[in-house]
């Protein structure tokens, strides 16, 4: 079954425990945690201490998306802090193979993320090694941006490619601009995991938002 991962970037950060509880009760699958460093992306968000606190209260796996330079220096602390999935960007890894191996050695899922303007070809030699590919459907850095329509074609091409290579177990996660209205289209293109920040936390009734998004992708 396809997964929905609400991004806490759009949650009330002063009440994270109750925000997480609400989406967990509403049927979310993972909690998506956006880590930004003000260098790789033009914004700063949260780090290891918040992941540690989330781990205490979240009944759901923590899906940690590192939008940071030199991610290799932070695999250890985020894994120890409680990440269940750790995703790094292909654009910042000089030694991606080593970073992915490091994440997997921690006994957690390893993902590689790719920006809208980065060609899928840059993943060719790493696809066999990862648990998931995170396709960015906005330029990373902020919640609440518009879904880039060309992402659908990219998701379809990736899906076909994985199939051709017998790598159907590699999940496709899509992140950015996903709302109730376009969730079906994104799922149909081949997304296995839908990240949604403002599309869920931006609505007053998060459980209702999740129910409607789930219904849309069924």
- Give the binding-site size for ligand DX5 (rule: CB under 6 A): 22
Contact 40, 71 (CB under 8 A): no
Which string of x and - marks every residue 126-145 that binds ligand DX5 (by CB under 6 A)?
Answer: ------------x-xxxxxx
32 lies in the binding site for ligand DX5 (CB under 6 A): yes
For CA atoms 49, 88, 129, 85, the dihedral sign is: positive
- Chosen from Zn ion, ligand DX5, none, partner binding at 138 (C-beta under 5 to 8 Å by type): ligand DX5
Q: Which two tokens stand for residue 61?
A: 């796996």
Site for ligand DX5 contains 151 (CB under 6 A):
no
Compute the least distance from the CB of residue 7 to Zn ion, in Å.
Answer: 6
Shortest Å distance, C-beta 43 to Zn ion: 11
Contact 195, 173 (CB under 8 A): yes
Q: Which of 29, 34, 37, 131 is catalytic?
A: 34
Instruction: By CB under 6 A, tell whether 183 contacts ligand DX5.
Output: no
Asked if residues 65 and 134 have their Cβ atoms less than 8 Å apart, the reply is yes
C-alpha to C-alpha distance for 191 and 130, rounded to whole angstroms: 16
State which of residues 34, 37, 131, 171 lies at the interface with ligand DX5 (CB under 6 A): 34
Which of 57-96 are b and which e, b meaning 16 or more Cβ less than 10 Å from the residue's Cβ? ebebbbbbbbbbbebbebbeebbebbbbbbbbbbbbbeeb
- Shortest separation between residue 173's beta carbon and Zn ion, angstroms: 9
C-beta of 166: minimal distance to Zn ion in Å? 28
Q: Is 175 a catalytic residue?
A: yes
Positive or negative: CA dihedral 172, 174, 180, 184: negative
Two tokens, residue 205: 């009734």
Site string for ligand DX5, 77-116 (x = CB under 6 A): ----------------------------------------
Question: Is 34 a known active-site residue?
Answer: yes
Can you give the binding site for Zn ion, defined by CB under 5 A?
34, 65, 175
Contact 173, 134 (CB under 8 A): yes
d(CA 99, CA 115) in angstroms, rounded, equals 18
Least Cβ distance, residue 201 to ligand DX5 (angstroms): 8
Interface positions with ligand DX5 (CB under 6 A): 7, 9-10, 32, 34, 65, 138, 140-145, 175-178, 195-199
Residues labelled catalytic? 34, 175
């Amino acid at each position: 079954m396809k997964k929905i991962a609400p991004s806490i970037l759009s949650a009330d950060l002063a009440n994270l425990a109750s925000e997480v509880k609400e989406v967990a009760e509403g049927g979310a699958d993972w909690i998506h945690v956006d880590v930004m460093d003000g260098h790789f992306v033009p914004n700063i968000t949260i780090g290891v201490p918040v992941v540690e606190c989330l781990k205490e209260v979240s009944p759901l796996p923590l899906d940690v998306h590192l939008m940071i330079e030199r991610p290799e220096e932070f695999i250890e602390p985020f894994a120890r802090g409680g990440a269940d999935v750790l995703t790094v960007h292909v654009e910042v890894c000089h030694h991606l193979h080593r970073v992915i191996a490091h994440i997997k050695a921690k006994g957690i899922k390893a993902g590689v993320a790719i920006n809208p303007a980065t060609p899928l070809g840059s993943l060719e030699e790493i696809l066999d090694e990862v648990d998931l590919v995170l396709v960015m459907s906005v330029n990373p850095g902020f919640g609440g941006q518009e879904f880039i329509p060309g992402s659908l074609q990219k998701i379809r091409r990736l899906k076909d490619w994985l199939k051709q290579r017998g790598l159907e177990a590699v999940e496709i996660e899509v992140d950015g601009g996903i709302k109730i209205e376009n969730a079906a289209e994104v799922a149909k293109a081949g997304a296995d995991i839908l990240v949604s920040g403002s599309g869920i936390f931006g609505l007053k009734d998060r459980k209702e938002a999740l129910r409607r998004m789930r219904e849309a992708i069924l």
